[in-house]
Chain A
Amino acid sequence: MNVNILEERTGQVYEKGQGPFSLKCNLDSLPGAVSQRACVFCGSRVVLYPITDALHLVHGPIGCAVYTWDIRGALSSNRELHRLSFSTDLRERDVIFGGEEKLEASLLELIERYMPSAAFVYSTCIVGIIGDDIQAVCKRVSQKTGVKCIPVQSEGFKGNKRAGYEAACNALIELVGSGPIDGISPFSINILGDFNLAGEIWIIKDYYRRMGIEVVSTITGDGKVKEIQRAHGARLNVVQCSGATLSLAKMMEERYGIPYIRVSYFGVDDMADALYRVADHFKDKRIMENTRSLIKEELDSLYPALKEFRKDLKGKRAAIYVGGAFKAFSLIKAFRLLGMKVVLVGSQTGTREDYEELEAVTDPGTVIVDDSNPLELSEFLKEKDVDIFVGGVKERPIAYKLGIGFCDHNHERKEALEGFIGMYNFAKEVHATVMSPVWRFVPRKEMRS
């Protein structure tokens, strides 16, 4: 492989078939390498953001709040407090004299204005340095107003995005267990690790409804404080995603004895597998029958449609770079279903187990990369002669600048990609970008022909 990689990063890139598998990961990002990663605050904000009836107050200077204002397609079935951006907007004076007073006044002001069901207060870098006691402020304001205020210890520099997930789960567990649980069905679950982007959780909820399963709470997509408070009444936690909410499931298992399973709702195989595993768990004949007929019904309408796309897409080459690795597994399968070949796969925060699994499921020659950056990615795309790149907002211009198709698999997406309908939408989007006539005009293709 003829790609220029910083010496310190060579251990974080592997080409399948080139020597025994080994990939370093879970390292601090290399200074100056232009990592695509974010920070602890980002991790917490991602997890808690979709709770729609809570106040999300960012305690710090304005940047952290302004860059996370309404940036995600997390939809709500009623209130939309999560789509507003609240900040204590700290100034020099606050940094010198401390920001606690301003935080308390801000909380009181916003609680009075919006009457939220709860309030999350996010620490940012600077709060960790000046040492504001946000715990004490939250306690005081909770007592004064009766609205539960929960501190989120998300100082940006205290680790990477994963540490932020932990901080968010630590905040969530404060809510769980405080609501009534009577009348909850024995066939009941919580949906964890789905953020209701483009209404995805509603698709999944509908599947569970058709199976005869009650969804007690959705964490955190279309999240409602009251429902999360009842989450301990569910009999099973169904966890999606690369561990964003996994530690919450573990805490709930420990505290309330609720078992959990890990699933993915992306792609046909994983979607069907998720439903079957939930059905299996409850060992109920009726639920199993419902599940079978649901999946059959969905596939009967989906497969003919996919076949059409497959005709055009067969043999095209795809590259994947995502935040957490779990999405990559499903994407590899989804591309295979469309007859396509994955030649590059990477993630910002994958774990050892993630990468081992990726190595197992990919074809020889596939590049696997951890915590990559624009220069590396652009070289991989060219080297592997890719037709479509899947990633987030920061990856998009890398593909476009080189004249390569792109599929937005990010948190601001407007198309639902989960569920069986999501597979159809995915195929449609992949088809739309790969088959566009614009590529015939880009220099990359001119050179080839």
Chain B
Amino acid sequence: MSTTSQAAFVDRHEADVSERDAARVWGTSARPLPDWFQQKRSRGGGLVGAWVPIVLVGLPLAVILAIVIYPTVWMFYHAFHDTNMMSLFSGNWQPVGFANFGYVLTSDRFQDSVSNLAFYLTFGATLQVLLGTALALIIYELVRPRWLQTLVLILLVLPMMMPPSIAGTLWKFLLQANNGAINHLLINLGLMGADQRIEWFSVDLSLVSLVIADTWQWTALPLLIVYSGRVSLPPAIYEAARVDGASTWQVLTRLTLPMLREIIAIAFILRFMDAYKFVDKVYVMTSGGPAQSSELPVYIAFQKGIREFQIGEAAAYAIIIFVFAAVLITLFLQYLKRVMRHQGVTS
């Protein structure tokens, strides 16, 4: 660029800046609006008609109102009324205060379902995360060729691609007491006598069966999360640890697991939150039975509301679950915020 054109450029630039400053100081645009803009404005009173923004905002708002807000308000309303199938259609439901909540919270059915949920969280979600973490680290460290690693991952992730209800049906067949493949396998492996049968869908074991099926399907999720976390750890740290003379065990316990702590926690929280909507396999495999031995709170809410039309009671269930979930999500978000601050993502 020659000196003269450079000077011209600087002049022009400074003129721009001073014009902008003037506009900022006096609150006016120093330059008139372009002709085409003014013509459009004077003719139509704006670039688009006044009805356009109203429609653009109003339509989605109406949809949200119809499918989210109205049902929620409706649910809260009926949680405090004795609505059931009869009163719902006749329209003469009566306010009952907190009676629905009292009934739900004190019922054996609800308390059993909460202890079932606790069992599922401890042995289902937790097992999945532990297993997924172990598998992810084993695959990363021990399967050397890259292509084989990818292949193993694809195979392990396949169950996750299956609709949960189909997976549930599949496991219902596999776990049949008389003709199920699992019992046959145990007999053929000599772990159990030829005349013995494990009743997988008995009162004692139905929840265990659910946990087995769910673990088969969902272990791959924490596995993928932890694996990607491990892949993103800088290799130089591991080289430094090798040069420093750390043993494999020291590297695992002092470096890898602490560095993956947040990632593992997030995998755990995801499975934890999924546990709240764990309905599909329960419905397909055990229908909550036998004798309500494998029921979870959400499944009861679904049963009460959609099957038995005990609207008031179902709404109370839904709100209790909602409160639990809200507390959990709040804690989760708090934790996520802390992790992000810790890692310098936000201030």
Q: Do A and B come from one complex?
A: no
Q: List the interface of chain A (C-beta within 8 A of B).
A: none
